[in-house]
Amino acid sequence: MHLRIDDIAKSWGGHTVLDHVSFNAGENEFVCLLGPSGCGKTTLLRLVAGLTAPDAGRIVLGGRDITEVPARERRMGLVFQAYSLFPDMTAAANVGYPMRLRRDPPAKIAARSSELLERVGLGGLGARFPDELSGGQQQRVALARALATEPAMLLLDEPLSALDPAIRGQLRTEIRSLQRALGIPTIMVTHDQEEALAMADTIVCMNHGRIEQTGSPRDLYERPRTRFVAEFIGRANLFPTSFVRDALPGFLERRPPGTDATYELCLRPEDVAIAADARGDGVVEDTTFLGNLARVTLAWRGRRVVVEVSGRDALTRGQTVSVDALRGAWVCA
Amino acid sequence: MTASARSRPRFAGALLLGVPALALLLFFVHPLATVLWRSVTDADGALTLANFMRLSDDPGLPRAAWHSVAIGLATTACTVPIGLVVAMALHRSRLRGKRLIRGVLVLPMLAPSLVLGLGLVCLLGHNGLVHRLTGLPTDIYGFWGLLLANTMYGLPQATIIVSAALARTPARHYDAATSMGATDWRQFVDVTLPRLRFALLAAAFLVFTETLTDFGSAVVVGGGYRVLAMEIYSEVVGQLDFAMGATLGVLLLAPALLSVWLGRMAKRRQDSGDASPGRPLVPAHDLRRDTLLGAVTWIALLPVIAVVATVAYVSLVKLWPYDRALTLANYMAGMPDGYGPVATSLGVSLLAACVGTPMVFALAAGLRRAPVAVARPVQFLASLPAAVPGMVLGLGYVLTFNHGPLSPWLYGSALLVAACSLYHYHAQSFLTMQTGMRQAPEALEDAVLVFGGETRHVLRDAILPFAAPAAVSTFFYLFMRSLVTLSGVIFLVTPELGLASVTVMRLDENGFLAQAAAYAMCVVLAGGLALGAMRLLLHLIKDRRHVA
């Protein structure tokens, strides 16, 4: 089903949380709402779920305006960050809960619960209570429960944030393949850019209640349109126009028109090539060995530049290097 | 269709909040306002300050006010340090018999406050056990008797507040202090005491308010040392001067309000402290410390044991104090009204608990999602009863419900007495329930709504599993408090509706001490059984439930 968020505004006690936000989520699409805490992404998700009402704007699902439809009639499957399982119900009872509210026949509930638990890799654990399950297992139960009533959409509110890094990575892949297999449109809220890059078809990057940029992960990484996106997703070296004119004049021709202050050049760390060169004008200030990579901080023409090179390239502090920029993108300052 | 569908849960939510809030207005704010109104109007209902002018006409009244403040301050000064020592003995020592200490501490809370006074009189009065056995001239009536009775009554409450703060202090602070070479005494001064500041303040304000507004001890051991609560009683019951009673009530209300407000401020500051207690502290071996704490604790608890034991003994005596042959007659035929008043008390308490618990539950649940503009005033009103002396509330009930549109249904009914007990102890029950409910994560409520649940499903599946222990505690708290309260209900009893605590007082006034003691023991026993039942129930819930 297709979801359209149309010019949604929401404020709380005079504080603007969402400032006329619009985006679309297509059929079968996995959309990530990405942004720092307080950017309005969770509020946006709650609006889609029907847990909060917008001050203005419309929410259209599959051609039907659902702005005024209460949460329980929207048929959304919701997974929260943590602590959303009923503590005194077993895993199977938790999964069956939405179906019990719909008064489905018990036999059908039991069959579907165990099928869903099987599907999320918890077959045979249906009789366990939430406090007898690990954090990752609890989130799988929550996922199964969200899918129980064949929802129109899946809404995930930071579902992995409370988990250990190892489990997080594993569950990331599983959620994504489950979503693909079921072909269910999904919106996930996250503040973890790596998670968004790894999972999303489309990232909606938000800041201060506004959408900074919408696009595919590759789009946002390689062609950030604003300084915020450049800095929030991945690492970025940002250079003002005057500096570029001096040091990297080749980039000037692709610069959009505007005063010096409107645009900055963004160079990703891997887009800068360096080579040991006794006559180079860069000086290695610091290196951090990361295994496959080494992150090198340079002093170059009065600026500090972060560069990533292969971990095998041995560079030492104080060494002089030559510097060359391979690719770059102009962003709104 | 959408508009009505959207409004349904809102309507249920409003109902959840509306019914208990309305009851709060009707049975608490309304009587309180009546007392205030009565104190500033004359017989024709015209506004006047004449009642307050009349206060100084009777030299006894300013003196009673002074007495109340003096006994309040003295009791606070005694109770808080002792409470600190007992709490330290419970949480910072390796003393044996902590269970026993806790058991003794429970005793004063199981009985109406006047039972402690009754025991004191039987032990140390003109004709008390000590005089009978030793021939020493003993006289406990007056300031010292009141001080002793009120200290015994306040000690458990002060200890509980300080204990809670001690239990919250994480062990890592002591580890840090030890690693820096601080002695035990320095740790007490630098780590323990600063964290107890607000608890000690809160305990002080609580004990002061309780003592200031206490009626039970005053009526039994006060003797010629008249306090304000006694004066209100005399004005209303003796001279039927309701206006004067109301005026004195307002006089009593002012310092109580101030004290509770200050206590609340102190508590708010303290709440911003450690959120996670971490690993609990295990005190090191220290014989000197344990001996000292143990000695002070048991010296402080000895009077409690002696007094309760005396009441138990007196209840078994044929004709106190002249014929001390042991008998069960006081329990069998000696009680003038049989077990009627005890049964009534149990019934009223059960009613207060059965009606009160769902009311308080609904109020706390309704407030969870209420807009701030509604939540703030309701929260204030729900916690306000802590500042209102039972006697003032009871007087308000008489003034409000003896006449007027509701009186045909309510006057002299068990329901009215139950309501008075409920709203007298509303603040503590409400705060307990609210604290318990805070453990229910909001995500769970959202989950129920998203999956198609209604308000009742939210209550049953998302809130109740977390609030169940608080609900059990609230139920038994209301039951036990209603069983022992005297000051609130003293004006509400009628010849047909006798309560155990009031009967104890009447028997004591008329010199039937043995029968009074027998009634008192029945109440203590019922309270003890209720406490046991509560512990058992909480234990069972804890075993069964999977709430982290």
Whichever domain contains B251, its CATH number is 1.10.3720.10
Nearest to A76 by CA among A48, A55, A104, A99: A48
CB contact A12 to B (< 8 Å): no
Asked whether the beta carbons of residue B466 and residue A87 sit closer than 8 angstroms, the reply is yes
Three-state DSSP class for residue B318 = strand
Residues B344 and B489 in one domain: yes
- Domain membership of residue B34 (yes or no) is no
Does domain A3-227 sit in CATH 3.40.50.300? yes
- Sheet with A15-25: list strands edge to edge: A15-25, A3-12, A56-61, A64-65
Hey, what are A103's tokens? 């008064």
Q: Is the pLDDT at B91 greater than 60, yes or no?
A: yes
Task: Identify whether residues B293 and B326 lie together within a single domain.
Answer: no
Residue A263 has pLDDT above 80, yes or no: yes
Q: Is the dihedral of CA A309, A312, A317, A320 positive or negative?
A: negative
What does the CA dihedral B144, B149, B154, B160 come to, rounded to 10 degrees? 120
Closest residue of chain B to A146, computed from CA coordinates: B451
Q: How far off is chain A from B460, nearest CA to CA, in Å?
A: 11
Average pLDDT score over chain A: 92
Strand order in the sheet with A293-300: A272-276, A320-325, A282-289, A293-300, A303-310
Quick count: other Cβ atoms within 10 Å of Cβ B186?
Answer: 12
Asked if the Cβ–Cβ distance from A51 to B3 is below 8 Å, we say no
Contacts of B234 (CB under 8 A, 6+ apart): none
**Least confident residue range of B10-14, B220-224, B492-496:** B10-14
Nearest residue, CB atoms, B444 vs list A83, A101, A129 = A83
> Domain ends where: B297, B314, B331?
B314
A51 to chain B: which residues are within 8 Å by CB? Answer: 446, 449-450
A253 reaches B (C-beta below 8 A) = no
Average pLDDT, stretch A73-83? 88
Q: How far is B172 from chain A (nearest CA, A)?
A: 25
Q: Per-residue pLDDT averaged across B533-540, rounded?
A: 90
Shortest distance, CA A194 to any CA of chain B (angstroms): 25
Q: How far does the CA of residue B364 sit from the closest CA of chain A (Å)?
A: 20
Is B2 in contact with A68 (Cβ distance < 8 A)? yes
Q: Specify the DSSP element, H or E, that contains B27.
A: none
Rounded Cα gap, residues A143 and A116, in angstroms: 9
Q: Cα separations (Å) of B448 from A66, B333, B442? A: 19, 58, 10
Can you state the angle between helices B500-509 and B513-544, rounded to 10 degrees? 160
Name the least confident of A220-224, A260-264, B322-326, B447-451. B322-326
The confidence band for B83, taking pLDDT boundaries of 50, 70 and 90, is very high
Q: How far, in Å, CA of A238 to CA of A249, rounded?
A: 15
Question: What pLDDT is attached to residue B44?
Answer: 81
Q: Determine the distance in angstroms separating the CA of B16 from the nearest CA of chain A, rounded to an integer.
A: 19
> Which of the listed CATH numbers 2.60.40.1260, 2.40.50.140, 1.20.1530.20, 3.40.50.2300 matches domain A235-332?
2.40.50.140
Taking CA B108 as the corner, what is the angle to CA B102 and CA B114, rounded to the nearest 5 degrees? 175
3-state per-residue secondary structure call for B142-191: CHHHHHHHHHHHHHHHHHHHHHHHHHHCCHHHHHHHHHCCCCHHHHHHHH
Q: Give residue-wise pLDDT tens across range B495-514.
A: 888 898 999 999 888 888 88
CA A60 vs CA A25, A64, A66, A67, A320: distances in Å = 10, 5, 6, 7, 58
Set of chain B residues whose Cβ sits within 8 Å of the Cβ of A70: 2, 5-6, 8-9
CA within 13 Å, CB half, A274: 31
pLDDT grade for B62, boundaries at 50, 70 and 90: confident
Quickly state the pLDDT bin for B6 (edges 50, 70, 90).
Answer: very low
Percent of chain B exceeding pLDDT 90 equals: 43
Domain identity same for B14 and B58 = no
Using a CB–CB cutoff of 8 Å, tell me whether A332 touches chain B.
Answer: no
Q: What is the mean pLDDT of residues B253-278?
A: 69
B211 shares a domain with B118: yes
Q: Using the beta-carbon criterion (under 8 Å), do B450 and A83 form an inter-chain contact? A: no
Beta carbons of A33 and A49 less than 8 angstroms apart: no
pLDDT tens per residue, range A117-142: 999 999 889 999 998 999 999 999 99
Residues B346, B199: one domain? no
Residues A141-162 as b/e (b if ≥16 CB within 10 A, e otherwise) read: bbbbbbbbbebbbbbbbbbbee
Identify which of B2, B450, B547 has the shortest CB distance to residue A51: B450
Shortest CA distance to A150 belongs to which of B451, B112, B323, B540?
B451
Average confidence score pLDDT of chain B: 87
Which pLDDT score is estimated for B270? 60
- What is the mean predicted confidence (pLDDT) over A6-14? 90
**What is the mean pLDDT of the segment spanning B401-426?**
87
Percent of chain A's residues with pLDDT above 90 = 73
Which residues of A fall within a CB distance of 8 Å from B449? 50-51, 71-72
CB contact under 8 A, A131 and B546: yes
B285 touches chain A (CB under 8 A): no
**Confidence (pLDDT) at A75:** 87
B4–chain A nearest CA distance, Å: 10
B259 and B149 part of one domain = yes
- Rounded to a whole number, what is the distance in Å from the CA of A232 to chain B's nearest CA? 28
A and B: number of Cβ contacts within 8 A: 87
The answer to whether residue B122 is domain-embedded is yes
Regarding whether B523 and B454 lie in a shared domain, the answer is yes
Q: Does residue B324 fall inside a structural domain?
A: yes
Cα dihedral A101, A102, A105, A110 sign: negative
What residues have CB less than 8 Å from B531, skipping those under 6 apart? Answer: B106, B110, B476, B480
Give the Cβ contact number of residue B370 at 10 Å.
18
Tell me if residue B456 falls in helix, strand or coil.
helix
Residue B407 exposed, middle or buried by CB count within 10 Å (0-12, 13-18, 19+):
middle
Give the model confidence (pLDDT) of B294-321 as tens digits: 999 999 999 999 999 999 999 998 888 8
Mean pLDDT of A46-62: 93
B197 and chain A in contact, CB less than 8 A: no
- The answer to whether residue B469 sits within a structural domain is yes
A98–B454 C-beta distance less than 8 A: no
Could you tell me if A101 lies within 8 Å of chain B, comparing CB atoms? Answer: yes
- Average pLDDT for B168-190: 84
The tens digit of pLDDT for each residue in B356-373 reads 999 999 999 999 888 888
A36-49 average pLDDT score: 93
B22 has pLDDT over 90: yes
Do residues A49 and A155 lie in contact, with contact meaning Cβ atoms separated by under 8 Å? yes
* Burial state string for B507-520 with b = 16 or more CB within 10 A and e = fewer than 16: bbeeebbbbbbbbb
Of B262, B282, B314, which residue sits at a domain end?
B314
List chain B residues with CB under 8 Å of A78.
446-447, 450-451
Give the predicted TM-score (pTM) of the model: 0.85
Question: Looking at the structure, do residues B433 and B447 belong to the same domain, yes or no?
Answer: yes
Q: What amino acid occupies position B479?
A: F
Residues B18 and B164 in one domain: no
Interface test with B, best of A60, A86, A100, A157 (most B CBs within 10 A): A86
* Chain B CB within 8 Å of residue A87 CB: yes
User: Are B413 and B535 in the same domain?
Assistant: yes
Least confident of A8-22, A153-167, B66-80, B261-275: B261-275
Domain count, chain B: 2
Give the integer Cα–Cα distance in Å for B412 and B402: 8
Predicted pLDDT at B278: 63
Which chain A residues contact residue B6 at CB under 8 A? Answer: 68-70
Helices marked H in chain A:
41-49, 91-101, 106-119, 135-147, 165-182, 193-199, 217-222, 227-232, 241-247
Whether A86 contacts chain B with CB within 8 A: yes
Q: What is the mean pLDDT of residues B99-115?
A: 90
Predicted confidence at residue B125, as pLDDT, reads 87
Q: Six-digit token pair at B453?
A: 């649940």
B90 domain-assigned? yes
Nearest CB neighbour to B447, from listed A73, A84, A131? A84
**Structure confidence at residue B185 (pLDDT):** 87
Mutate to test the interface with A, among B451, B454, B542, B546 (most CBs of A within 10 A): B451
Domain with B479, as residue range(s), is 1-25+320-548
Q: Best of A101, A116, A132 to disrupt the B interface by mutation (most B CBs within 10 Å)?
A: A101
Mark yes or no for CB contact B546/A87 under 8 Å: yes
Do B424 and B277 belong together in one domain? Answer: no
Same domain, B295 and B342: no
Please check the confidence at residue B271 and state whether its pLDDT lies above 90: no
Structure tokens at A238: 């940002």
Residues of chain A with CATH 3.40.50.300: 3-227
Q: Determine which helix (DSSP H) or strand (DSSP E) holds A164, and give its type and residue range.
A: none
3-state SS class at B492 = coil
B7 pLDDT above the threshold of 60: no
Write the pLDDT tens digit of every residue in B466-489: 899 999 999 999 999 999 999 888
Please give the single-letter amino acid code of residue B412: G
H-helix or E-strand spanning residue A133: none
- Taking only the tens place, the pLDDT of each residue in B390-402 is 999 999 999 998 8
Q: Show which of B267, B291, B314 is a domain's final residue.
A: B314
Tokens for B219, please give them. Answer: 């009526």
Out of B2, B449, B462, whose CB is closest to A51? Answer: B449
Per-residue pLDDT band for B3 (boundaries 50, 70, 90) equals very low
- B133-160 mean pLDDT: 92
Q: Report the chain A residue with the minimal C-alpha distance to residue B2.
A: A69
Which residue from B minimizes the CA distance to A128?
Answer: B546
Of B9, B461, B546, the CB nearest to A129: B546
B5: pLDDT confidence band, cut at 50, 70 and 90? very low
CB-based contact B489:B477 (threshold 8 Å): no
User: Percent of chain B, pLDDT > 70?
Assistant: 94
Q: Positive or negative, the Cα torsion across B81, B476, A89, B545?
A: positive
* Chain A interface mutation, best of B438, B450, B464, highest count of A Cβ atoms under 10 Å: B450
Across the interface, which of B2, B441, B452 has its CB nearest the CB of A84? Answer: B441
Torsion angle of C-alpha atoms A189, A192, A198, A200, degrees rounded to 10:
20
- Using CA atoms, how far apart are residues B396 and B212, in angstroms rounded to an integer? 18
Which regions of chain A carry the CATH code 2.40.50.140? 235-332
